[in-house]
Amino acid sequence: MPRLLGVDIPNDRPTCVSLTYLYGVGPRTARELCFKAGIQPHVRARDLKEDELARLAALLDKDYTVEGQLRRQMAQNIARLRDIGCYRGLRHRRGLPVRGQRTRTNARTRKGPKKTVAGKKGVKDMR
């Protein structure tokens, strides 16, 4: 398996698809990378030569923010929002949806599995 920036990319897929296994590289960026590095996008990743892999790694380091650096940058952005106490930061802190979605129903991805709370028992007539 070819290795780029500490990530094993799959052998049996075309290069432009294999590059999307890197965090921060989507289909469009993968095609751009292949074009800039002078690599045919449909060539399988296992058929890449060492110099082609080196060109890809150099391009990724120089022109793109990917993998650990991008993850760190995202975490810093969220930490900044939390620290300044803005609305988005509070939503991150509480583990609720950040971008205006409803929370009365749905929102299970952010809130986690349901936590059932016992309902109020009706006041019984004492006659």
Q: What pLDDT was estimated at residue 77? A: 96
What is the C-alpha separation between 32 and 15, in angstroms, rounded? 12
pTM here is: 0.77
What percentage of the chain has pLDDT greater than the value 90?
75
Element (H, E) at 8: strand 7-8
| Both structure tokens of 17 | 């698809």
The residue assigned the tokens 């920036």 is 5
- Phi, psi angles (nearest 5°) of residue 8: -80, 125
Name the pLDDT band for 120 (thresholds 50, 70, 90).
confident
pLDDT tens by residue, 25-52: 999 999 999 999 999 999 998 899 999 9
pLDDT tens by residue, 66-91: 999 999 999 999 999 999 999 999 99
What is the C-alpha separation between 37 and 59, in angstroms, rounded? 8
Rg (CA), the chain: 23
What percentage of the chain has pLDDT greater than the value 70?
95
